[in-house]
Structure 1
């Protein structure tokens, strides 16, 4: 069985990555697509005033919203999907998930902003590429996305 991790942030770029999986040549034999959304941890100041249950509920809701579109795209193609709603530092959590499911590839939609923005803001995709032990496929959305 082939395992593919699809990281999503709920954007059109993530949708393009899902379409790439559906339309691409990665699908050979049985495939499970592990859709992952990583919500950032909240600060200690927030934790002081908001209950852990409320924070966990918020993380779950945000992840469900972010994963909905790509899961719809993959489901329409009748692919096996497992959803992973995580929190923490996205590159670390994506790479760890890929290792835990023995992923054959990680697919990420990229905004394609260029090296200047990535140098200033950091790039989840760039960090995943640097640390993943499996191939990472970056998919840029069409210009109209």
Structure 2
């Protein structure tokens, strides 16, 4: 079974990527889709006020909430899924996770803002593309979100 990583931020763009994977437009073989969401780590100062267990529980709950719609889309289509909340710099953590599961590809939704705006505000997708050891598929919604 091939592994594909679906990085989600809980947006309609990520849901469009989940729907695209669920339709099996590119990946025809048996897949296991690893849904991941990455949250930035909190500062040492914040960590001094919150127990490690409470912080881990918050990260788990928040990532679970964010990943839910993508997981639901995939499971409704009968696609085997696993999910993992990640903490740290998103591009690095997504690529490291994809490497660890020997992912066939990384799939991400894209806002499609354009190169100029991405150069100014940055883009997780462009940073993942620059670091990934496998193909990265960017999916735009078929219709513009309202």
What TM-score, normalized by structure 2, do the two folds share?
Answer: 0.94
1:138 maps to what in 2? Answer: 138
Q: Is the 8 A contact 2:16 2:109 kept in 1?
A: yes
Structure 2 residue 22 is matched with structure 1 residue 22: yes
1:72 maps to what in 2? Answer: 72
Distance across 2 between alignment mates of 1:64 and 1:21? 19
Aligned pairs (5 A) from 1:52-67: 52-67=52-67
Q: Is the 8 A contact 1:109 1:138 kept in 2?
A: yes
| Structure 1 moving runs of 4+ over 6 Å | none
Cα RMSD after superposing both structures: 1.2
Q: Is the 8 A contact 2:12 2:145 kept in 1?
A: no
**Structure 1: runs of 5+ lacking an equivalent:** none
Instruction: For residues 1-57 of structure 1, give each alpha carbon's deviation from its aligned partner in whole angstroms, at most 9, with x where no partner exists.
Output: 221100001111100000110124233221100000111100122112222112111
Structure 2 residue 21 is matched with structure 1 residue 48: no
Distance across 2 between alignment mates of 1:102 and 1:26? 18
Distance across 1 between alignment mates of 2:117 and 2:45? 29
Aligned pairs (5 A) from 1:93-112: 93-112=93-112
Distance across 2 between alignment mates of 1:99 and 1:144? 32
- Alignment length (residue pairs): 145
**Structure 2: runs of 5+ lacking an equivalent:** none
